[in-house]
Amino acid sequence: MSALEFEKPVLELESKLTELMKMPATDDMDIHKEITRIQQKIQRLLHEAYSKLTPAQKVQVARHAERPRFHEYIAGTFTDFTPLAGDRLYAEDKALVGGLAKLDGRPVVVMGQEKGWDTDSRIKHNFGMARPEGYRKAQRLMEMANQFQLPVISLVDTSGAYPGVDAEERGQSEAIAKSIESCLDLSVPMISVIIGEGGSGGAIAIATANRILMLEHAIYSVISPEGCASILWRSATHAQEAAAALKLTAQDLYELGLIDEIISEPIGGAHRHKEEMIEQVKLSLIRNLSSLTPWNTETIRLDRRKKFIQMGRLAA
């Protein structure tokens, strides 16, 4: 497991534990006691570390290489996932994956960014940074959702939309703007979950939803802490301060009234107990979707609009 600085004491204990476990089976009570003792200590240390993560540490956890990705949620949360490809205009963008699936037996449209899990897949999925084609595929899927009255679920995990010459040439701005508009035009419920990184415009493009859920250690920000630091502090070395100042944690966003729910992560983070995490997300999605079902096509659209109009507005 790749190490985060603040997890080092835990990782040392974990490797010690692995060694103890490898020892031949024995009745030596001392070894059993030692194992139990280390396990308890690990739990305690993890609990301590993860209950008071700083914003900068949350940024690290949210970007953790082994954090569950889009494809893992797809496998564990949905059944019968049938990916659909292409924007019908230019290309197929593998950074933003989407298609039809069933959630608790009910057909839905699901989409989200896939960051990849090893070098090859990261390159294939462009590290989860979508080009205009990706956002135009999202628009196409949302149109389909409207037509067949299928709820839309989006799983957001991106450092941002791809900043490249080709993306600019083909209208990255327009693609994101239209994608936001498609979200607002939905006459079906839309639920978004920020599972890792919610990177600025590239995230909001598929997160203008009726319900916005966020994992406990996910982040959602208008700019990366590094980018913010290099502009406002004139040096990326101030990223830790920027992470705190930007108020990008799930707890901050909930406090500000910008998200609806925080989904708790297992002790030690989503990457330590993937199955448990995926199950939590599934339960939360099912619960939120059933609270929005059945829906009135006009009301569900206007409720979403009202939610965003009210966001951050001064109480009258």
Q: Is 40 exposed, middle or buried (0-12, 13-18, 19+ CB in 10 A)?
A: exposed
**Residue 297 C-beta-side C-alpha neighbours within 13 Å:** 8
Using CB under 8 A, which of the segments 82-90, 114-122, 146-154, 237-245 binds other proteins? 237-245
Using CB under 8 A, which of the segments 9-17, 66-74, 111-119, 166-174 binds other proteins? 166-174
| Pairing of the two strands 96-103 and 219-221 | unpaired
236 forms part of the interface with other proteins (CB under 8 A): no
Q: Cα-flanking dihedrals φ and ψ of residue 26, to 5°?
A: -150, 160
232 DSSP assignment: I
Among 167, 186, 263, 285, binds other proteins (CB under 8 A): 167
Among 11, 31, 232, 292, binds other proteins (CB under 8 A): 232
Using CB under 8 A, which of the segments 4-12, 101-109, 223-231, 279-287 binds other proteins? 223-231
| DSSP code string of 53-103 | --HHHHHHHHT-TTS--HHHHHHHH-EEEEE----SSS---TTEEEEEEEE
56 forms part of the interface with other proteins (CB under 8 A): no
Decide: 137 and 130 in contact? Cβ < 8 Å: no
Min. distance of Cβ 205 from other proteins in angstroms?
A: 8
Min. distance of Cβ 160 from other proteins in angstroms?
A: 9
280 forms part of the interface with other proteins (CB under 8 A): no
Binding site for other proteins (CB under 8 A): 161-165, 167-174, 176-178, 180-181, 183-185, 200-201, 204-205, 208, 220-223, 227-228, 231-233, 238, 241-242, 245-248, 252-253, 256, 258, 305, 308-309, 311-314
